[in-house]
Amino acid sequence: MTEKFLPDENRLKAAEENYKRVLESIKESAVKAGRNEQDVRLMCVTKTVEPVYINKVLELGADLIGENRVQEYLGKRDALNLSGVERHLIGHLQTNKVRQIVGEVDMIESVSSLKLAKEISKVSSARGIETKCLVEVNIGKEESKSGVYAEALAETLYEMAGLKGLKVEGLMTIPPVCENEKEARRYFAEMRQYFIDIKDKKIDNINMNILSMGMSGDYEAAVAEGSNIVRVGSAIFGARKYF
């Protein structure tokens, strides 16, 4: 990632066109669902993407990026034009990496357990800051994924509500890989219901403002079911090359 390379002009152009197209299609999906287009934010997911391509979409007005790995983000960020840009961590976070990331991003979306929340709380309060978080829900109960099961969500949130230095702002999910849009929509609809149910509980110190769901293959369905952050990577930057 640190080696020098010449940006691929075609890829730069593709990123620009894709970014605009995705924005347009989010708007269309929002309007179709009777929602205000302003209520859905596009997160550009930048894992494995070289800074030059990320800067291209930032230049076009992208104001939210998501990175998966702590190390990769910290290695790249100095090359990014991040002024006015919100940064979220969206990848699996190990407790031993919490110290490195707290204070470096605006939100951790991948809070997948109470144990992790406690560590974020400990590190944040020691530094006198508050870290905004989303609780990751394992909506398909997949062993391969992290996240709290829906059945345990309320109980987990009541515990998190008592943690200093941590502010829950909503929920995030990655549903199972689906055969079709209808199937994906069912998971998103389920998430929306949990989001509403939790919001109705009005738990002290827990906000339910953000419902982060939908990726390149299914963001339209997610918008139709109430998502307000869609996390889009490959539909903007192209297929990922892992290093």
Ligand X SMILES: *Cc1c(COP(=O)(O)O)cnc(C)c1O
Task: Tell me the window of 98-106, 143-151, 158-166, 233-241 that interacts with ligand X (CB under 6 A).
Answer: 233-241
Q: Pick one of 40, 42, 45, 211: the residue that binds ligand X (CB under 6 A).
A: 45
Q: Are 192 and 185 in contact (CB under 8 A)?
A: no
Report the C-alpha gap between 239 and 66 in whole angstroms.
16
Based on the shown chain and the rule CB under 6 A, indicate whether residue 113 belongs to the binding site for ligand X.
Answer: no
Q: Residue 60 contacts by C-beta under 8 Å, 6 or more apart in sequence? A: 16, 19, 20
Q: Tokens 């605009």: give the residue.
A: 20
Cα distance between residue 154 and residue 195, in whole Å:
10
Can you point out the beta strands (E) in the chain? 41-45, 64-67, 86-89, 107-111, 131-137, 166-173, 206-212, 229-232
In the list 8, 161, 234, 238, the residue contacting ligand X (rule: CB under 6 A) is: 234
Q: Smallest distance, Å, CB 88 to ligand X?
A: 10
Which residue among 52, 64, 68, 183 contacts ligand X (CB under 6 A)?
A: 68
The least distance separating ligand X from the CB of residue 202, rounded to whole angstroms, comes to 28
87 binds ligand X (CB under 6 A): no
Taking the least distance from each CB to ligand X, the nearer of 93 and 153 is 93
Nearest CB to ligand X, comparing residues 195 and 219:
219
Give buried/exposed letters for 143-177 (b at 16+ CB in 10 A, else e): eebbbbebeebbebbeebeebebbbbbbbbbbbee
Q: Work out whether 88 is an interface residue with ligand X (CB under 6 A).
A: no
Asked if 107 is part of the footprint of ligand X (rule: CB under 6 A), the reply reads no
Least Å from the CB of residue 176 to ligand X = 13
Cα–Cα distance for residue pair 104/167, rounded to 1 Å: 16
Beta strands in 36-130 (DSSP E): 41-45, 64-67, 86-89, 107-111
Is 75 within 8 Å of 54 (Cβ atoms)? no
Separation of alpha carbons 228 and 207, rounded Å: 14
The 175-204 contact track toward ligand X, x by CB under 6 A, reads ------------------------------
CB of 97 to ligand X, least distance (A): 16
- Which one among 65, 70, 90, 229 touches ligand X, defined by CB under 6 A? 90
**Size of interface with ligand X, in residues (CB under 6 A):** 14
Among 40, 47, 120, 138, interactor with ligand X by CB under 6 A = 47
Contacting residues toward ligand X, per CB under 6 A: 45, 47, 68, 90-91, 174, 215-217, 231-235
